[in-house]
Amino acid sequence: MTKTAAIIGGGVIGGGWAARFLLNGWDVRVFDPDPEAARKIGEVLDNARRSYPGLMDRGVPREGRLSFHPTMSDAVAGAIWIQESVPERLELKQKVYQALQAECDPQAVIGSSTSGFKPSELQSCATRPEQVLVCHPFNPVYLLPLVEVVGTDKNSEDLHTQAADILTSLGMHPLRVRKEIDAHIADRFLEAVWREALWLITDGIATTEEIDNAIRYGFGLRWAQMGLFETYRVAGGEAGMRHFMAQFGPALKWPWTKLMDVPEFTEDLVDMISDQSDAQSGRHSIRDLERIRDTNLVGILRALKAQDWGAGALLNAAEQDPPPVDPTDLVETVRRVVPLDWTDYNGHMNEARYLQAFGDATDRFMEIIGCDAQYIATGGSYFTAETHIRHVDEVHAGHEITVRTYCALGAGKKMQLFHQMFEGDRLLATGEHLLIHVDLQTRKSSPPGDAVANALGAIADQHAKLTPPTGMGRAVGQR
């Protein structure tokens, strides 16, 4: 049966929760007195529909129903999860809880998105305190999995289990905070960094942009995949966490931040952290962790490279110019090392990445005949109509591959290319591709511009003098 969530308070956070539930197949009932609420939630939901469902590889739940309700009592009808995301004023939250609890299912979880209040403060406003938990998410709620779950001894273990199960089913990570504390966990770090950043700007050390670059070109990349302690465990090397701490312990007394109120660095604290770090990461050797870290970083860097953003934009800017072309011979259209994110768990290049390399070869060939970004901006390009790949041999991450391209046909709207992929002299695969020139407005076939047609024709004429590579023109299974 379809489950129902009530969203009390829209906006960016409430809207993000609504999207998380809806796109996981829940019906969502919203109460927000803001006359703009439907528009605001709609905008968040547009962003979420664009990004979230594509994260799932094995099927997508049918989106639930979204409805807006004029009163809280109407909104909470049938809801087994009620998420409160109203502004951070305790007297307002008190009114909300009392109105909610007059009507809602006493078994439902009431989660609060509060970033600052402790659960005991919220519970003191409630008719049934045992029903209320802090469930603090992170923006954008539909993409980031973290939810800090904080309760008090008024909440039962059953309620915690119920909350954790539901959050997990939404693809989120319920992080149960052991004791309530102002700002929970993550926001304590964010507040510390914010304070330090305000000092750096006040003191004229760096601008906002420089501070952001210090984050996203360095430790931000590390923290997307390992946190503070696992990163330091790796940095400490085989000597381990204790060694790392011994090295950096004294810095606590140095003016490395203006935030100087530090805990006592006792042997007990060192033991506690070393033991916790062993429990967390001890199943991996440091060498394994280094490789896991590097593989993750390569995936992240290449994802950013595809968007030409952040650290990925730096990589694009550092690309070399490709070699000059000899039109009387096969054209070298790719020379690259197989990246870690192109391989399976055994380190072999994945099936689809052969086509990616051939697609890159085609792009480079198009560039050579003048069908480059500037030409494409004028409204024409070549689209692949057909592809035939023959897999001949395997190749591993870290090995250099080249693609050499034979132009079998280049006339009218058609271009036919035959790519051969090698590691050294070893043939790995061939790719035969029929491309059609397309008008990007109409999306229909069209003749290329004269300059492109002439450059393509010239290479096709030269290649007609070469012996055609073997393997062209075959159907699947044909020798």
The residue within the footprint of its own copies, chosen from 42, 47, 92, 427 (CB under 8 A), is 47
The residue within the footprint of its own copies, chosen from 237, 327, 379, 447 (CB under 8 A), is 237
Alpha helix (H) ranges present in 178-323? 186-202, 208-214, 220-223, 228-236, 240-248, 267-281, 286-306, 310-317
Nearest CA to 419 out of 375, 461, 336, 361 is that of 361
* Residue 86: strand, helix, or coil: coil
Enumerate residues 6+ apart whose C-beta is below 8 A from 99: 72, 73
Cβ closest to its own copies, residue 98 vs residue 256: 256
Judged by CB under 8 A, the chain residues 436 through 465 that form the site for its own copies are 443
The residue within the footprint of its own copies, chosen from 77, 253, 288, 309 (CB under 8 A), is 309
Judged by CB under 8 A, the chain residues 2 through 31 that form the site for its own copies are 12
The yes or no reply on residue 172 touching its own copies (CB under 8 A) is yes
The residue within the footprint of its own copies, chosen from 90, 102, 246, 251 (CB under 8 A), is 251
Q: How many residues bind its own copies (CB under 8 A)?
A: 179
Q: Quote the CA–CA distance of 28 and 15 in Å, as a whole number.
A: 10
The yes or no reply on residue 360 touching its own copies (CB under 8 A) is yes
Q: Quote the CA–CA distance of 165 and 169 in Å, as a whole number.
A: 6
Cβ closest to its own copies, residue 322 vs residue 327: 322
Judged by CB under 8 A, the chain residues 118 through 147 that form the site for its own copies are 138-140, 143-146
Sheet holding 4-8, edge to edge: 66-68, 27-31, 4-8, 81-84, 109-112, 132-137, 146-150, 173-176
Q: How far is Cα of residue 73 from the mean position of the Cα atoms in its chain? A: 37
Q: Which stretch, 2-10, 73-81, 428-436, 444-452, contacts its own copies (CB under 8 A)?
A: 428-436
Cβ closest to its own copies, residue 71 vs residue 350: 350
Query: Token pair for residue 31?
Result: 């109460």
The yes or no reply on residue 424 touching its own copies (CB under 8 A) is no
Please report which helix (H) or strand (E) contains residue 430, including its range. strand 426-439
Judged by CB under 8 A, the chain residues 73 through 92 that form the site for its own copies are none
Nearest CA to 397 out of 286, 299, 316 is that of 299
The residue within the footprint of its own copies, chosen from 33, 379, 398, 412 (CB under 8 A), is 398
Q: Which stretch, 89-97, 168-176, 444-452, 461-469, contacts its own copies (CB under 8 A)?
A: 168-176
Cβ closest to its own copies, residue 389 vs residue 427: 389
